[in-house]
Amino acid sequence: MLLLERVTVVYPNGLKANDEVTVEIRGGEILALLGENGAGKTTLAKVAAGLLRPTAGSIFLDGEEVRFESYLQALRRGIYYVSQEPQLIEGLTVLEDVGLTLELGGRGRSRGELRRELARLSAKVGLRLEPEALCEDLSAGERQRVEALKPFLLGSRIVIFDEPTTHMSPLEARALGEIMREMRREGKGIVFITHKMKEVLELADRVVVMRRGRVVGELERSRIDEARLLEMMFGEVGRAAKSKGMREPGEVLLELRDVSAAKLRRVSLRVSRGEVVGVAGVAGNGQRELFEVIAGLRRAEKGKVLLGGSDVTSKGPGERARLGLSLVPEDRLGWALVPGLDVATNVYFALNHKRFFLDWREVRRAAESALSLVPIVGSPSSRVESLSGGNMQRLVLARELFREPKVLVAMNPTAGLDHATTVTVREMIVKYSERGGVLLISEDLDELAEMADRIYVMSRGSIVGEHAKPFDLEKIAEQMVS
């Protein structure tokens, strides 16, 4: 149905994101586009959807060559792209948002008609939908599913999902799988971008594997097997991070005493040198507030925060950083990294320097030595927002570890990362804990079990349990929802 032939995309910074990629999308089939972060999957999808114009190569729709000048043109020719962070427009209602897409896609209809059709369709795909709800009140998973409804109403023939399950619960992911199968029954061509092996094995009729901007392999349904796919993705089979042996923890580096603030209720915890301390919990139970209180961005209404023995309760983030606190926040861009600045400046920015004038050679040197800790794809002079999510996280980690902190506090450090980066990130954090203390706030219980020496369980803003190795995961999960 849609053929992308020898597509090459070179970004203005010289990064070759796609290198002569040829992929065919067929009707009535789910095609999985598999590869780790930065392999060029999203770039290819954006070319297909008219969001990016390729540097070279051709696109054929039903055998006829097309040139999409805009997303709107692709939309009107029956291609629908669901981006990784589904961009419903905050401020509009669900009905308005869906209606706007239909209007722009040349399939406009009245509010009344749309309301009826939404009700019918929601029943079909098993999704309860309140048309008058505001888009900003929807969870990421719900937004993704609202997006998934649009191609039915638009009559799109090709639907591209870009890592749709990143923010979904397993239940939501399964429901989305059903929607994809329904689309396949209707003869649509579905492209499913992912780096999760399990989803590929469950859903795909055909798999195209990408690595470093190139297609490195293609397998039909009957020949899909995990080991071969992994080999194609990584070149060599990826290893899992080894859990470390037991060590005696050293002096206490970070301590919270009876801290209350916003959602937090009398939270006490301590992190000592040489240990990784986990905080488990279902998202939204105060983890973000905990991170902010430790970072110095939110004031503790009651209680004390101690860093390396000194009271920092009333100190700001800058002072805490000087005392040896390093942060790996959940939001890479806009919190950990400043968009618009290049890689080197982003590294240098976070180091505490007192001189008035900048020495650009020194900036570069600092960046290079930081990046020697964790290599990234991309040069010190590339802008941070051009990096892939995985490379951003590597950069953040490289910078924070380069500062030789006393305590590293990380929140969901591997969310949305591919297998290879996840392994690197976990290894680096565990290795660092030999020299300092780590507080790992994570929604991924398996990650905590693998890395942590001790786990606190958080629920509704309180610490409801503390566990030592070996972990009783069932008990922890039970406390998480208590």
Partner 1 sequence: MAVELLLGALVSAVPIMLAAYGEMVLERAGRVNLGVDGMMALGASVAVIVASLTSPSLGLAAGALAGALISLLYAVPVVYFRADQVVAGLALAFLSWGLADLVATLSVPLSAPIPQGSALHLSLLLLALLLPLVLWAFLYFTWAGVELRAIGYDEKAARNRGARVERTRTLSALFGGLMAGLAGAYMSLVLYQGKYFAGITSGWGWLAVGSVILGYWHPLGVALSTYAIGLVLSLRPYLEALGLGPLSVSAPYLVVILALALSSLLTRRLRLRPPTT
Q: Is 97 one of the binding residues for partner 1 (CB under 8 A)?
A: yes
Residue 449's H or E segment, with its range, is helix 445-451
- For partner 1, which residue of 3, 10, 92, 423 counts as binding (CB under 8 A)? 92
CA distances from 272 to 192, 250, 408, 439, 447 (A): 44, 6, 11, 9, 20
Task: Choose, by CB under 8 A, the member of 18, 37, 43, 101 that binds partner 1.
Answer: 101
How distant is the alpha carbon of residue 162 from its chain centre? 12
116 binding partner 1? (CB under 8 A): no
Minimum distance of partner 1 from residue 90's CB (angstroms) = 6
Residue 162 near partner 1 by CB under 8 A = no
Question: In this chain, which stretch among 84-92, 273-281, 361-369, 386-394 interacts with partner 1, using CB under 8 A?
Answer: 84-92
Contact flag: residue 151 with partner 1 (CB under 8 A):
no
Specify the stretch interacting with partner 1 by CB under 8 A; choose among 89-97, 211-219, 256-264, 464-472: 89-97
Per CB under 8 A, 262 contacts partner 1: no
Residue 113 contacts partner 1 per CB under 8 A: no
Least distance to partner 1 from the beta carbon of 133, Å?
Answer: 11
- Piece of 102-110, 217-225, 247-255, 332-340 that binds partner 1 (CB under 8 A): 102-110
Between β-strands 79-82 and 158-162, what pairing exists: parallel, antiparallel or unpaired? parallel
* Burial of 437: CB neighbours in 10 Å, binned 0-12, 13-18, 19+: buried
Q: How far apart are CA 344 and CA 244, in angstroms?
A: 32
Q: Round to whole Å and give the CA distance between 126 and 124.
A: 6
Assess 203 for contact with partner 1 (CB under 8 A). no
How near is the Cβ of 401 to partner 1 at its closest, in Å?
33
- Burial track 77-115 (b if 16+ CB lie within 10 A, e otherwise): bbbbbbbbebebeeeebbbbbbbebbeebebeeeeeebb
Contact assessment for residue 381 and residue 299, using Cβ atoms and an 8 Å cutoff? no
Looking at the Cβ atoms of 105 and 390, the one nearer to partner 1 is 105
Calculate the CA dihedral of residues 369, 372, 373, 376 and round it to 10 degrees.
Answer: 120
Name the minimum Å distance from CB 81 to partner 1. Answer: 9
Smallest gap from Cβ 132 to partner 1, in A, equals 10
Which two structure tokens, joined as six digits, stand for 365? 């040197």
Q: Least distance from C-beta 51 to partner 1, angstroms?
A: 7
d(CA 210, CA 367): 29
| Distance of alpha carbon 64 from alpha carbon 45, whole angstroms | 19
What mask of x and - would describe binding to partner 1 in positions 120 to 149, judged by CB under 8 A?
Answer: --------------x-x-------------
Nearest residue (CB) to partner 1, 133 versus 423: 133
Q: Please classify residue 332 by burial: count the beta carbons closer than 10 Å to its beta carbon, then call 0-12 exposed, 13-18 middle and 19+ buried.
A: buried
Q: Whole-number minimum distance, CB 101 to partner 1, in Å? A: 6
Task: Specify the residue, 191 or 417, whose C-beta has the smaller distance to partner 1.
Answer: 191
CB 295 within 8 A of CB 319: no
| Identity of the residue, 96 or 418, whose beta carbon is nearer to partner 1 in the bound complex | 96
Return the bridge partners of 159, or none: 80, 190
Question: Minimum distance between the CB of residue 139 and partner 1, rounded to whole angstroms?
Answer: 17
Does position 104 bind partner 1 by CB under 8 A? yes
Min dist. Cβ of residue 99 to partner 1 (A): 6
**382-402 CB burial, b ≥16 within 10 A, e <16:** bbbebbbbbbbbbbbbbbbbb
- Going by their DSSP bridges, the two strands 29-34 and 252-261 should be labelled as unpaired
Distance CA 393, CA 297 (A): 21
225 near partner 1, rule: CB under 8 A: no
Specify the DSSP class assigned to residue 256.
E
**The only residue of 100, 230, 297, 338 in contact with partner 1, by rule CB under 8 A:** 100
Nearer Cβ to partner 1 (108/340): 108
In the complex, least distance from residue 147 CB atom to partner 1, rounded to whole angstroms: 10
Residue 139 burial class via C-beta count within 10 angstroms: exposed 0-12, middle 13-18, buried 19 and up: middle
Rounded Cα gap, residues 363 and 116, in angstroms: 60
- Residue whose CB is less far from partner 1, 81 or 456: 81
Distance of CA 238 to the CA centre of its chain: 20
Least distance (Å) from partner 1 to the CB of residue 94? 12
Does residue number 99 form part of the binding site for partner 1 (CB under 8 A)?
Answer: yes
**Residue of the chain from 53, 65, 67, 87 that contacts partner 1 (CB under 8 A):** 87
Query: Which residue number, 96 or 172, has a Cβ lying nearer to partner 1?
Result: 96
Q: Which stretch binds partner 1 (CB under 8 A): 93-101, 257-265, 342-350, 363-371?
A: 93-101
CB of 68 to partner 1, least distance (A): 11
Task: Outline where DSSP puts E strands in 56-141.
Answer: 56-61, 64-66, 79-82
Site for partner 1 in 9-68 (CB under 8 A): 51
Contacting residues toward partner 1, per CB under 8 A:
51, 70-72, 75, 83, 87-92, 96-97, 99-101, 103-105, 108, 111, 134, 136
